[in-house]
């Protein structure tokens, strides 16, 4: 997934998994009206939900491209009440991004602990928690993964080299 030499220090991109990689909108057609009513506003708590979900369009290709130039990690939170969701998310990532993605998965609700250069997310509330640059998907600037990929194609993936004093 990552093609960099051990001596290169690359910029870090964190990618929010939920609603940025995993497309929750695809599941509505697969649930009964009663399930939709029960889990309204908390669709991620439907038992076995992750087996039904597809990737956000073009996200997987964009991530493969980003991974060739940047250090890419995946951030997710899991519903504490649904322990099966932990394993289900792991299986989803493995299925869509391969087993190497699991070594780059970070489970946390504390984005402020993720020290990196970029966070691709859809949540504006992350602004106060993350110290790097926010790339807000589904906004005018980044309406989709094509726009995100275009932006990162213009960014230098290398950290500025430190000069000796």
Domains in the chain: boundaries: 12-23+54-153
Q: How does pLDDT run across 63-90, given as a tens digit for each residue?
A: 999 999 999 999 988 777 777 888 888 9
Helix crossing, 59-69 with 84-97: angle to 10°?
70
| Dist CA 143 CA 119 (whole Å) | 15
Cβ-based burial of 1 (10 A; exposed 0-12, middle 13-18, buried ≥19):
middle
Given 18, 61, 115, 156, which residue is catalytic? 18
Q: What is the pLDDT of residue 127?
A: 65
| Dist CA 110 CA 126 (whole Å) | 9
Candidate from 12-16, 68-72, 88-92, 160-164 with smallest mean pLDDT = 160-164
Is 160 or 65 the better-scoring residue by pLDDT? 65
Catalytic residue check, 115: no
User: What is the CATH number assigned to the segment(s) 12-23+54-153?
Assistant: 3.40.50.1000
- Opening angle at CA 120, ends 59 and 56, nearest 5: 25
The tokens for 165 are: 């004093």
Share above pLDDT 70 across residues of the chain, in percent, rounded to a whole number: 90
Q: How does pLDDT run across 87-125, given as a tens digit for each residue?
A: 888 999 999 999 999 999 998 877 777 888 999 998 776
pTM over 0.95: no
Could you tell me which residues come within 8 angstroms of residue 44 by beta carbon, excluding any fewer than 6 positions away? 18, 24, 79, 85
Catalytic residue check, 18: yes
Given 16, 23, 61, 88, which residue is catalytic? 16
- Opening angle at CA 111, ends 106 and 112, nearest 5: 125
């Amino acid at each position: 997934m990552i093609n960099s030499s051990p001596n290169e220090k690359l910029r870090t991109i964190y990618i929010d998994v939920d609603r940025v990689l995993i497309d929750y909108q695809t599941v509505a057609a697969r649930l009964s009206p009663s399930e939709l009513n029960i889990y309204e506003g908390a669709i991620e708590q439907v038992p076995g939900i992750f087996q039904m979900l597809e990737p956000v369009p073009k996200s997987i290709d964009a991530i493969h491209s980003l991974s060739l130039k940047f250090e890419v990690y995946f951030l997710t939170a899991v519903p504490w009440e649904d322990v099966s969701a932990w394993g289900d998310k792991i299986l989803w990532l493995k299925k869509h991004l391969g087993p190497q993605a699991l070594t780059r998965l970070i489970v946390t609700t504390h984005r402020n602990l993720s020290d990196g250069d970029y966070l691709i997310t859809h949540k504006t509330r992350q602004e106060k928690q993350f110290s790097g640059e926010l790339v807000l998907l589904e906004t005018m600037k980044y309406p989709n993964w094509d726009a995100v990929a275009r932006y990162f194609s213009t960014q230098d993936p290398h950290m500025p080299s430190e000069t000796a004093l």
